[in-house]
């Protein structure tokens, strides 16, 4: 039995200090009805809470930790960088270095700007698209999460889905009115809207592999429709690869599916566990950004030397060895195949999706293609599965609307232990269903 005495006290204390006791909603474990372990430290594939429980970690700080926690090279580079000062508010060589690295991996990005979060990246990319086209309306897809900027917090996934708040109070109706939301993977309704209003659309923003309604894979014809319609109507196609970048494949979903967007948003991995993100794309678009052009965007800590250092070192680790991401993907495949097999043995219908080093599991007998499918899956079964896994030392995201992440630090033994634990968890789901 898992002891969470210290975490329980810490959570109670934190609730008097922060809304829900957390600085980001999903961390509160609301949907899975247990206390979130408070974390003391992490190393490689494992994470340890303040009660001394150690877990195999598949949250990976929600994506960034592809090289594992506290990678010795990242830690050393950060220690050396900190000793040189933590922020200057002035240009550094590190910023050009990370820009060059990112460009070399994402050739569709001709110029880019570093920001501090994925939210800032998508918000700024939209501003560029609107400023460049002189149009206000944008299209996003239900269940896709692009951060919490006003115009994007409409039919959003992630925490907004977990808590049933697709539209947040405080988002002006006029702002939401400029956001058209359509079902993911539905080329037909997309084509119909573009045929009718395409010349009023500034941008189409999409997670080319959707990771915030659980992991949902794109149909290739859907991504192709996005590209051809935006091209035909002079709208900007923005790929939000904040999550799937470097994971679906090293060169992102855009390389994997062979579709080149006008702009790309990156985050998570490029900060190596520190706050950093970026938006970039065609030079003629990025040259509209201040001070080169009239579209304003700025940041006191943008390009921060510590964040750039952690990002550069992480990108080096995953690119120097050309098989790094391929290996992590292979580990993930072993895991997803094991999960499917254990679920079948327990007689529990699941839909397991994988894209590179990401995976997720829905309790449903249907293939999950969009937010409606994802929402229809059995979330109570998920809570039972989640609790059983946590008890067995497997740390998963506490919601079926979140994606699991594998790192280069996960070992064969980690994967084997996780599959074993899943067998027990699926049996718990089966007996829960019998008792229901």
Ligand X SMILES: *Cc1c(COP(=O)(O)O)cnc(C)c1O
| Nearest-angstrom CA–CA distance, 99 and 118 | 16
Strands (E), 106-255: 111-115, 137-141, 179-182, 201-206, 236-240
148-187 footprint of ligand X as x/- string (CB under 6 A): ----------------------------------------
Torsion of CA 154, 160, 161, 164, to 10 degrees: -90
Q: For residues 147 and 311, which CB has a smaller minimum distance to ligand X in the complex?
A: 147
Which residue in 142, 151, 212, 360 binds ligand X (CB under 6 A)?
A: 212
Q: For residues 245 and 338, which CB has a smaller minimum distance to ligand X in the complex?
A: 245
Residue 100 CB contacts under 8 Å (≥ 6 apart), including other chains: none
Q: For residues 145 and 222, which CB has a smaller minimum distance to ligand X in the complex?
A: 145
Q: Between residue 242 and residue 261, which ones bind ligand X under the rule CB under 6 A? A: 242-243
Q: Which stretch binds ligand X (CB under 6 A): 75-83, 207-215, 303-311, 316-324?
A: 207-215
Which residue in 143, 214, 218, 267 binds ligand X (CB under 6 A)?
A: 267
Which residue in 146, 227, 342, 369 binds ligand X (CB under 6 A)?
A: 146
Measured CA to CA in angstroms, residue 214 lies from 42, 81, 91, 379, 391 at distances of 24, 36, 39, 12, 22
CA–chain centroid gap for 71, Å, is 21
Q: For residues 238 and 421, which CB has a smaller minimum distance to ligand X in the complex?
A: 238
| Residue 119 binds ligand X (CB under 6 A) | yes
Q: For residues 212 and 248, which CB has a smaller minimum distance to ligand X in the complex?
A: 212
DSSP letter string, 246-307: TTTBTTHHHHHTT---SEEEE-GGGGBTBS-EEEEE-HHHHTTBTTTSSB----TTTT-HHH
Give bridge partners of residue 265 from the DSSP assignment: 240, 279
Which residue in 29, 58, 145, 363 binds ligand X (CB under 6 A)?
A: 145
Nearest residue to ligand X, by Cβ distance, number only:
118
The torsion region of residue 371 among left (phi > 0), alpha (psi -120 to 50) and beta comes to alpha
CA–chain centroid gap for 335, Å, is 20
Which residue in 60, 118, 208, 408 binds ligand X (CB under 6 A)?
A: 118
Closest to 229 measured CA to CA, from 258, 267, 203, 211: 203
| Residue 240 binds ligand X (CB under 6 A) | yes
Q: What are phi and psi of 180, to 5 degrees?
A: -95, 125
| Residue 125 binds ligand X (CB under 6 A) | no
Query: What positions carry a catalytic annotation?
Result: 145, 240, 268
Token pair in block for residue 134: 């002189």
274-313 footprint of ligand X as x/- string (CB under 6 A): ---x------------------------------------
What 3-state DSSP class applies to 368?
Answer: coil
Binding residues for ligand X, total number by CB under 6 A: 15
Which residue in 60, 211, 273, 311 binds ligand X (CB under 6 A)?
A: 211
Which residue in 117, 230, 375, 387 binds ligand X (CB under 6 A)?
A: 117
| Minimum CB–partner distance for residue 8 and ligand X (Å) | 27
Q: For residues 4 and 358, which CB has a smaller minimum distance to ligand X in the complex?
A: 358
Contact (CB, 8 A) for 48 and 54: yes
Q: Which stretch binds ligand X (CB under 6 A): 111-119, 127-135, 343-351, 407-415?
A: 111-119
Q: Which stretch binds ligand X (CB under 6 A): 67-75, 124-132, 144-152, 316-324?
A: 144-152
Token pair in block for residue 390: 């946590």
Strands 39-43 and 46-49: antiparallel
| Residue ranges binding ligand X (CB under 6 A) | 117-119, 122, 145-147, 207, 211-212, 240, 242-243, 267, 277
């Amino acid at each position: 039995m898992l002891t969470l005495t210290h975490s329980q006290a810490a959570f109670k204390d934190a609730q008097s200090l922060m809304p829900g006791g957390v600085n980001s909603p999903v961390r509160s474990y609301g949907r899975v009805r247990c206390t979130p372990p408070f974390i003391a430290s992490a190393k490689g594939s494992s994470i340890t809470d303040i009660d001394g429980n150690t877990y195999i970690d598949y949250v990976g700080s929600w994506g960034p930790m592809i090289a594992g926690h506290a990678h010795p090279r990242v830690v050393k580079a950060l220690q050396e960088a900190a000793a040189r000062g933590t922020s200057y508010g002035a240009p550094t060589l590190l910023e050009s270095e990370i820009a060059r690295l990112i460009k070399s991996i994402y050739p569709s990005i001709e110029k880019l700007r570093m920001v501090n979060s994925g939210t800032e990246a998508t918000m700024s990319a939209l501003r560029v698209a609107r400023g460049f086209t002189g149009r206000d309306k944008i299209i996003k897809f239900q269940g896709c999460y692009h951060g919490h900027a006003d115009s994007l917090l409409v039919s959003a996934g992630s925490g907004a889905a977990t808590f049933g708040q697709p539209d947040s109070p405080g988002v002006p109706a006029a702002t939401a009115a400029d956001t058209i939301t359509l079902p993911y993977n539905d080329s037909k309704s997309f084509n119909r809207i573009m045929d009718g209003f395409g010349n009023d659309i500034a941008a189409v923003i999409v997670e080319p592999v959707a990771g915030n309604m659980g992991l949902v894979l794109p149909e290739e014809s859907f991504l192709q429709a996005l590209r051809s319609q935006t091209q035909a109507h002079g709208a900007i196609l923005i790929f939000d690869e904040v999550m799937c970048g470097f994971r679906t494949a090293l060169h992102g979903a855009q390389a994997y599916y062979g579709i080149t967007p006008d702009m790309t948003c990156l985050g998570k991995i490029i900060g190596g566990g520190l706050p950093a993100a970026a938006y970039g794309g065609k030079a003629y678009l990025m040259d509209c950004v201040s001070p080169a052009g009239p579209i304003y965007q700025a940041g006191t800590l943008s390009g921060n030397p510590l964040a750039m250092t952690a990002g550069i070192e992480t990108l080096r680790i995953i690119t120097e060895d050309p098989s790094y991401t391929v290996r992590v993907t292979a580990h993930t495949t072993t895991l997803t195949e094991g999960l499917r097999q254990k679920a079948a043995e327990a007689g529990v219908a699941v839909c397991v999706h994988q894209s590179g080093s990401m995976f997720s599991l829905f309790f449903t007998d249907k293939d999950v293609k969009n937010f409606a499918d994802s929402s229809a899956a059995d979330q109570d079964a998920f809570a039972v599965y989640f609790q059983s896994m946590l008890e067995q030392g497997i740390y998963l995201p506490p919601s079926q609307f979140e994606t699991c992440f594998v790192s280069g630090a996960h070992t064969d033994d980690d994967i084997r232990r996780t599959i074993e634990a899943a067998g027990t968890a699926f049996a718990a789901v089966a007996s829960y269903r019998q008792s229901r």
